Amino acid sequence: MSANRWLATGNFFSTYKEEQRIFFTHLDRLLFCVLLAVLFIWPLVYEVSNKYMLVLDNILIAMVAIIGLNLVTGFAGLISIGHAAFVGVGAYTLAVFARTIGDSHVLITHAWPLMLIVSGAVGAMFGAFVGLPALRLKHLYLAIATLSFQMIFQWTINFFPLFNQGQTIPVGRVYWFTGMVSRGDHYLFWYYVALVIVIVFGLAVRNLLRTRYGRSLVAVRDNDRAADAMGMNPGLTKVYAFALAGFFAGVAGALHAYLYRGAGIESFTLAQSISYLAMAIVGGLGTLTGSFFGPAAIRMLDLQVENLVEWLKHFLPAAMNLATAFKPLTFGLVIVLFLMFEPRGIANWWRICRTYVKLWPFRY
């Protein structure tokens, strides 16, 4: 423990336990608490329209999903091109419950935290099942196996009447202690719920990564044979990475279904899977902070492109295809540019900024 508990220059550790701390100084802890307080308080002070609140909700839900994707693809190195399908499994678990027991049943409206966990559990089951091929397959073959799951999921949802053949299945409004969450408070309410879940999961994953199970993920990514030789169980680790990703995705899916008050296939397509992968890449694969930056960056980009297209419409009356053309174009450009010039993602910028502030006024 360094002498100054508030400021520390450089890394001085005398025990391994010290090195594994989440917050290195009291200042870190304080800043974290301030950030949380700001995130909780600002909606009460500053009012935003429902449109932007929805964007924020979407970002937070995507964060939950990306934490899972980052675990399986970033930390465990297993490429998953079917993450939207896992999110879909969560959403459809909730939706099918709502369909069978009625969408204003007390389980759906009052016991919604339970339903979130149930959806996560079902997602984890599917994740473990889809992870089974990872015992035998590697690299690209495994990536295509997850792509197969995505395709099979889409076909299943579109085919079976139980899932309303891909049409939206409605989910009822939920209750809080103060009564039913009204239309006006809907987006604000889910902002808080998603925020709490992101914080809890973020801390949980941060903790996981310093335990034996988290480190075994990284070991399996770097070289699974070496990990095997060192006494880890790569097969089990891979399956459990997929199960964890499925859990996070399932919770994100259930949140999505509650937020949009229904589940439809269009939110869980292959394009969405690719978009999740892009968020993980832009944020920074294999970093926890990347899971927060990535979704925010990509969703903000989408929003800005939408605004740009709206603005361009004043000048180009005949530009009918502009929105469909500009979205993939900018999306693709961002991915390619990030991979070419900053493969470690926004998380790396964050790291650089932090080091700069920490060392100020000195520099490397």
Partner 1 sequence: MSYFLQLVVSGIVVGSIYALSGLGFVLIYKSSRVLNIAHGQIIATGAFITYALTVWVGIPLYISFFVSMVLTFFLAMSVERIFLRRLIGEPIISVIMVTIGLMSILDGIIYLTPFGGYNYSFPDFFPKTPINMGPVSISWTQMVGVIVTFTLIFLFTWFFKKSTVGISMRAVSDDQLASMSIGISVPHVFGLAWAMAGLSAAAAGGIIGNITGLNFETLHAFGIIVFPVVILGGLDSIIGAVVAGIIMGLIQQFASGYLDGKWGLSGTAEVLPYIILLIILLFKPHGLFGTHEIERV
| Binding region for partner 1 (CB under 8 A) | 73, 77, 79, 133, 136-141, 143-145, 147-148, 151-152, 155-156, 158-159, 223, 225-226, 229, 270, 274, 277-278, 281, 285, 320-321, 324-336, 339-340, 343
- Closer Cβ to partner 1, 138 or 206, answer by number: 138
Q: Shortest distance, CB of residue 177 to partner 1, whole angstroms?
A: 44
Q: Do the Cβ atoms of 250 and 123 come closer than 8 Å?
A: yes
Sequence-distant (6+) residues with CB within 8 A of 333 are none
Distance CA 184, CA 46 (A): 15
Q: Shortest distance, CB of residue 69 to partner 1, whole angstroms?
A: 11
Distance CA 159, CA 259 (A): 25
Q: Shortest distance, CB of residue 272 to partner 1, whole angstroms?
A: 13
Distance CA 63, CA 65 (A): 5
Distance CA 294, CA 281 (A): 7
Q: Shortest distance, CB of residue 285 to partner 1, whole angstroms?
A: 7
The most distant pair of C-alpha atoms in the chain lies apart, rounded to whole Å, by: 68
- Closer Cβ to partner 1, 23 or 141, answer by number: 141
Distance CA 164, CA 262 (A): 12
Q: Shortest distance, CB of residue 252 to partner 1, whole angstroms?
A: 21
Nearest to 277 by CA among 15, 72, 16: 72
SS3 288: helix
- Between strands 262-263 and 169-170, the pairing is antiparallel
SS3 56: helix
DSSP state of 181: P
- Closer Cβ to partner 1, 74 or 120, answer by number: 74
Q: Shortest distance, CB of residue 133 to partner 1, whole angstroms?
A: 7
- Closer Cβ to partner 1, 102 or 332, answer by number: 332
- Closer Cβ to partner 1, 59 or 85, answer by number: 85
Q: Do the Cβ atoms of 59 and 299 come closer than 8 Å?
A: yes
- Closer Cβ to partner 1, 113 or 328, answer by number: 328
Q: Shortest distance, CB of residue 123 to partner 1, whole angstroms?
A: 19
- Closer Cβ to partner 1, 38 or 325, answer by number: 325
